[in-house]
């Protein structure tokens, strides 16, 4: 005498079944589907095996007695109330095993991926909006600066035009014959005035240089005393830098960095003297501090410490020269991206950080990913803008 086995899938997921018994069989049940299989004879030990969709192993292996209920059994696959489990019910047996709801887990995973993609999309949209806002603000600042430059140029142009017109009227009164002579005299006067200014600046700086030597009781090598002033200044600056560190290996990097910065920044002789004065005061008034730093700091930190102290010293006496110097020093740091150099220039221009604080930042982010450094700079920029609101 045979038996009848019905399998009902009351889930939206696909299940593969195998009925183990006399004449059993196997097949696939798609979502909300059902099937009925016949057994040729009734066994005490029959089995229904269920495997989820694309899994390789069975989720259920259910043993049942096909003699029960006149040989008619019905199996039902359902989701539990919380949808966290799949339960297999049999109308002739009391056992109701469960397994994880793999389909729900997959749905949750897909939903989480979609939510994560949406979150990233929104973050990217916000980032682009912030970048666009910063770009527009930068363009507005540049436009304002350009308008100011144009206004000043226009005023200067008017003054020059008025001066030329007055000169033309004066020359026309003297006649064409004396025009050429008068022009030559004026040109000679302009050249003489320019030469006098240059001589005065050079002479004034020479006096200040001599006063600096006298103030700090510095004895200059006799072979250098007849050299050009700029060469004497550079030689003294190198000697003081070497004295600050106490050994050539540590001073060479700072010497080259300052030399490259001065060369790229095109500092005037007066500005170079301001830098020399700051180096002199830093070296000759902080000897005890320098000794302790050499004992405590590694070589790399000593180099940065020197530049930071120099910028602080210079910023206290001549902020403009300190700003120009740190902007030139930025070009020496080849590992810093152009975008981050631009952000640092804006931060300096808007007086958010001092030159020494910018160098402290460069030391802190040395060797890290430039995108992370960009994020830090942009965050500082945003906070500074919010503080103004």
Alpha-carbon span 138 to 306, nearest angstrom: 33
pLDDT of 191 strictly over 60: no
pLDDT of 197 strictly over 60: no
- The mean-pLDDT minimum among 22-36, 110-124, 349-363 falls in 349-363
Residues 236, 318, single domain; the answer is yes
Alpha-carbon span 288 to 285, nearest angstrom: 8
Domain tally for the chain?
3
pLDDT average, residue stretch 270-292: 77
Whether 195 is covered by a domain: the verdict is no
Residues 264, 340, single domain; the answer is yes
Determine the pLDDT at residue 186.
Answer: 42
Residues 248, 365, single domain; the answer is yes
Looking at 121, 152, 174, the residue that finishes a domain is: 174
Give yes or no for a contact between 20 and 6, defined as CB atoms under 8 angstroms apart.
Answer: no
Residues 119, 223, single domain; the answer is no
Computed from CA positions of residues 175, 177, 178, 181, in that sequence, does the dihedral angle turn out positive or negative?
Answer: positive
Whether 68 is covered by a domain: the verdict is yes
Q: Token match 């010293």: residue? A: 313
Determine the pLDDT at residue 168.
Answer: 58
Whether 207 is covered by a domain: the verdict is no
Residues 245, 370, single domain; the answer is yes
Select the more confidently predicted residue: 253 or 106: 106
Whether 185 is covered by a domain: the verdict is no
Average pLDDT over the chain reads 82
Q: 117 is in which domain, residue-wise? A: 111-174
pLDDT of 194 strictly over 70: no
Select the more confidently predicted residue: 249 or 54: 54
pLDDT of 193 strictly over 50: no
Whether 189 is covered by a domain: the verdict is no
Residues 380, 231, single domain; the answer is yes
pLDDT average, residue stretch 321-331: 84
Whether 287 is covered by a domain: the verdict is yes
Alpha-carbon span 110 to 52, nearest angstrom: 18
Whether 194 is covered by a domain: the verdict is no
Residues 342, 257, single domain; the answer is yes
- The pLDDT tens digits of the residues spanning 55-72 come to 999 999 999 999 998 889
Residues 308, 382, single domain; the answer is yes
- What's the pLDDT band for 149 if we cut at 50, 70, 90? confident
- The pLDDT tens digits of the residues spanning 85-140 come to 999 999 999 999 999 999 999 999 999 999 999 999 999 999 999 999 999 999 99
Secondary structure (3-state) at 74 = strand
Whether 27 is covered by a domain: the verdict is yes
Tokens of 219: 């004895």
Q: What is the CATH number of the domain that holds 88?
A: 2.60.40.2890
Residues 345, 262, single domain; the answer is yes
Computed from CA positions of residues 207, 213, 217, 218, in that sequence, does the dihedral angle turn out positive or negative?
Answer: negative
Alpha-carbon span 16 to 9, nearest angstrom: 10
- Closest-CA residue to 22 (of 38, 6, 36): 38
Residue % of the chain over a pLDDT of 70: 82
Looking at 100, 121, 140, the residue that finishes a domain is: 100
Give yes or no for a contact between 35 and 60, defined as CB atoms under 8 angstroms apart.
Answer: no
pLDDT average, residue stretch 337-351: 86
Helical segments of 175-247, H only: 176-215, 229-245
The segment with the largest mean pLDDT, out of 10-24, 204-218, 310-324, is 10-24
Residues 230, 83, single domain; the answer is no
Which H or E element spans position 78? strand 72-79
Residues 72, 127, single domain; the answer is no
Looking at 47, 68, 100, the residue that finishes a domain is: 100
Determine the pLDDT at residue 177.
Answer: 54
- The pLDDT tens digits of the residues spanning 254-268 come to 777 777 777 665 678
Residues 304, 355, single domain; the answer is yes
């Amino acid at each position: 005498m045979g038996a009848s086995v019905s399998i009902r899938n009351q889930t939206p997921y696909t299940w593969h079944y195998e009925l183990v018994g006399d004449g059993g069989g196997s097949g696939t049940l798609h979502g909300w589907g059902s099937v009925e299989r016949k057994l040729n004879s009734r066994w005490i030990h029959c089995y229904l095996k269920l495997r989820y969709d694309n899994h390789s192993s069975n989720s259920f292996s259910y043993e049942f007695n096909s003699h029960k209920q006149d040989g008619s059994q019905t199996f039902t696959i359902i989701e539990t109330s919380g949808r966290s489990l799949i339960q297999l019910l049999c109308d002739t047996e009391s056992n109701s095993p469960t397994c994880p709801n793999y389909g729900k887990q997959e749905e949750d995973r897909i939903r989480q991926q979609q939510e994560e993609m949406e979150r990233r999309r929104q973050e990217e949209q916000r980032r682009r909006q912030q970048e666009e806002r910063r770009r527009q603000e930068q363009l507005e600042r540049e436009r304002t600066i350009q308008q100011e430059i144009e206004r000043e140029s226009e005023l200067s142009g008017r003054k020059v035009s008025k001066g030329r017109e007055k000169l033309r009227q004066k020359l026309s009164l003297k006649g064409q014959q004396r025009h050429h002579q008068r022009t030559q005299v004026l040109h000679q006067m302009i050249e003489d005035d320019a030469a006098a200014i240059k001589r005065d600046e050079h002479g004034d700086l020479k006096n200040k240089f001599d006063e600096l030597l006298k103030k700090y009781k510095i004895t200059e090598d006799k072979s250098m005393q007849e050299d050009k002033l700029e060469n004497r200044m550079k030689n003294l600056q190198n000697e003081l830098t070497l004295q600050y560190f106490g050994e050539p290996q540590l001073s060479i990097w700072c010497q080259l960095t300052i030399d490259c910065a001065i060369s790229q920044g095109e500092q005037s002789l007066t500005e170079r003297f301001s830098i020399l004065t700051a180096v002199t005061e830093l070296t000759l008034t902080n000897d005890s501090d320098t000794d302790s730093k050499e004992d405590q700091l590694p070589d790399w930190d000593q180099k940065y410490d020197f530049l930071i102290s120099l910028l602080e010293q210079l910023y206290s006496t001549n902020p403009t020269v300190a700003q120009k110097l740190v902007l030139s020093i930025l070009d020496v740091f080849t590992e810093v991206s152009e975008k981050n150099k631009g952000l640092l220039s804006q931060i300096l221009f808007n007086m958010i950080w001092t030159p020494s604080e910018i160098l402290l930042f460069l030391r802190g982010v040395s060797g890290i990913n430039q995108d992370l450094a960009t994020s830090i700079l942009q965050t500082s920029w945003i906070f500074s803008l919010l503080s103004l609101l």
